[in-house]
Amino acid sequence: MSRVRTENGVVEGLESDGLHHFRNIPYAAAPFGPNRFLPPRRAADWDGVRDATKPGPAAPQKAEDNPLATIYSATNSGEDCLTLEVWTPDPGSARLPVMVHIHGGGYVFGAGSLPGYSGRNFARDGVVHVSINYRLGIDGFLHLGEGHDNLGLRDQSAALAWVQRNIAAFGGDPGRVTIFGQSAGGVSVMYHLALPASRGAFAQAIAQSGCSMASVEADEASRVTRQVARDLGVPPTVEGLSSVSPERTAAASYKALTRFALGLARGDRRALLLSPFRGVHGTEFLPMNPARSASRTPGVPLVAGTVRNEAGRLVDGIVTVAGPLAPLVRLGLRRALGLDGSMVRAYREGPRRIRGLAALVEAGWSDWAFRIPTIRLLEERSEPSWLYEFRWQREGIPPASGSFHAIDLPFVRDDLGTVMALGQPALEQFGARPPNELAQRMHADFVRFATTGDPGWQKYDRTERATMVYDTETRCLHDAAGVERAAWDGRRPGHM
């Protein structure tokens, strides 16, 4: 057992193989009851020693149907959910680099305590690893006016502030904090680059599969609020939504997510980002979206990148559900993406050599939602920035879906063993022998960036556009997106 004193009291965690793990540490008070739909409030102090050996509850959410559910989906949720976990090589050390992980899940699913997000291997390599929970869905991202906006992002900022005040007790250096996350976590990282409340709370950032153009204005966010409230039969106000139980709002969050995504069948461009729950810009808390504020606010070194087939599984799933209407759905997606003749030529001539409507839609959607917004963000930054693209996929499957959204998660953590222990679901997605060498390389690059501020390859600029390509043969290429990137010029500005 291992003990550390935090600002609220003493926590006792586990020690294993020389590493120390502390779980379920509150960084803010439970955000329900009298605190519901309010900014996070200070956690209460406690007497004695708090047991930090078991995971705390995730934010209320519907159980996710995920073939890798046991390591990436939360099964235990509850109201006292604003907690975090810490892995550290040695609480007695001084000024170790710190990495704070923000989980993904479309702002509807997930938790920082899940086995697939373990910080053990970061601690093994000399990094203090923190993973956080935050409010999700209606309770975290429904817009209810100034002061009641962006609550999930406010939770994340509160967690970063807690890290600044407490991480030294775990051996970490508050001046060497790197934030990182994938999908909604990657979008969150981009938000924090633009958030006044988060300035000074971290020194570096890594955004995996994020979108710098995902935030919306208050009018669009309020439209979602009215629709959700109407479905729940309550006024679209703090008082009205507070009368609904967390269990019902979790179910309603999933319903809103499903209905929003169905807009794709109508060619609704808003649905291309899938989740109705987003950051709301034009507010006091988030004045501007990240793409527009990148060159106007103080910044930090950034590593950002995407996987090759971000939208591959999305297209496959939609086509499966559509059945005989699949060709019409593909055409609707093509229209929503604006893939005209010049774009088609660019994808045929570009590095992916796209053929066929299904592959075209997948590539266009991946670029519209992830790759191009990531590149645009780096183009606008004056601070040191690095770009990567993850391309590896298992053998024997079509290239249009093989390097799928979230495939990079176990590689970043050098933790393929946890995934492969799941058996058949992992074999179907990763094959029998995914390359450990690639996991070791990608993980080492992330650790190097957290430790030294440089991931080990050439910085990104508008001239050479250096891109680290993670694959069976990892290498740095110049302008890896090529004519595909150029084709989006003027078509994908810094907003929706």
More confident residue, 248 or 356: 248
Q: What angle do CA 426, 440, 377 make, to 5 degrees?
A: 90
**One-letter amino acid of 144:** L
Q: Which of 405, 408, 415 is nearest to 87 (CA)?
A: 415
Q: Name the average pLDDT for the chain.
A: 92
Are the C-beta atoms of residues 416 and 439 closer than 8 Å to each other?
yes
* Dist CA 422 CA 409 (whole Å): 15
Q: Catalytic one among 101, 143, 192, 405?
A: 405
Tokens (6 digits) for 276 = 């109705």
pLDDT of residue 268: 77
Residue 463: count other Cβ atoms within 10 Å of its Cβ: 8
DSSP string, 100-133: EEE--STTTS--TTSGGG--HHHHHTT-EEEEE-
Are the C-beta atoms of residues 151 and 473 closer than 8 Å to each other?
no
Catalytic residue check, 243? no
* Dist CA 119 CA 21 (whole Å): 9
pLDDT of residue 332: 78
Radius of gyration of the chain (CA): 21
pLDDT of residue 323: 67
CATH 3.40.50.1820 at 1-256+278-321+369-496, yes or no? yes
Q: Over the stretch 322-342, which tens digit does the pLDDT of each residue have?
A: 667 667 777 778 888 889 999
> 293 pLDDT exceeds 70?
yes
Query: What CA–CA distances, in Å, run from 337 to 118, 333, 363, 457?
Result: 36, 6, 10, 32
198-203 long-range contacts (CB < 8 A, ≥24 apart) are 198/156, 198/157, 198/160, 199/297, 199/298, 200/164, 201/157, 201/160, 201/161, 201/163, 201/164, 201/177, 202/100, 202/160, 202/177, 202/178, 202/300, 203/175, 203/176, 203/177, 203/178, 203/300, 203/301, 203/453
Query: What CA–CA distances, in Å, run from 433 to 199, 395, 423, 439, 440?
Result: 42, 10, 12, 12, 14
> 13 pLDDT exceeds 60?
yes
Q: Catalytic one among 212, 253, 310, 380?
A: 310
Q: Over the stretch 467-487, which tens digit does the pLDDT of each residue have?
A: 999 999 999 999 999 999 999
Q: Please give the average per-residue pLDDT across 5-24, as a whole number.
A: 97
Residue 493: pLDDT band with limits 50, 70, 90 = low
Q: Over the stretch 227-245, which tens digit does the pLDDT of each residue have?
A: 999 999 999 999 999 999 9
Q: Which of 256, 211, 238, 233 is nearest to 61 (CA)?
A: 256
Q: How many helices (H) and strands (E) does the chain have?
A: 19, 13
Residue 496: pLDDT band with limits 50, 70, 90 = very low
Out of 31-45, 115-129, 400-414, least confident range:
400-414
pLDDT of residue 184: 96
**One-letter amino acid of 343:** M
Out of 209-223, 346-360, 434-448, least confident range:
346-360
> 369 pLDDT exceeds 90?
yes
Out of 146-155, 193-202, 306-315, least confident range:
306-315
More confident residue, 93 or 18: 18
Catalytic residue check, 21? no
Out of 149-153, 344-348, 487-491, least confident range:
487-491
Q: Over the stretch 120-166, which tens digit does the pLDDT of each residue have?
A: 999 999 999 999 999 999 999 999 999 999 999 999 999 999 999 99
Catalytic residue check, 405? yes
> 69 pLDDT exceeds 90?
no
- Give the global pTM: 0.96
Q: Catalytic one among 77, 113, 118, 183?
A: 183
* Dist CA 214 CA 141 (whole Å): 13
Residue 494: pLDDT band with limits 50, 70, 90 = very low
Out of 58-67, 96-105, 231-240, 412-421, least confident range:
58-67
pLDDT of residue 331: 79
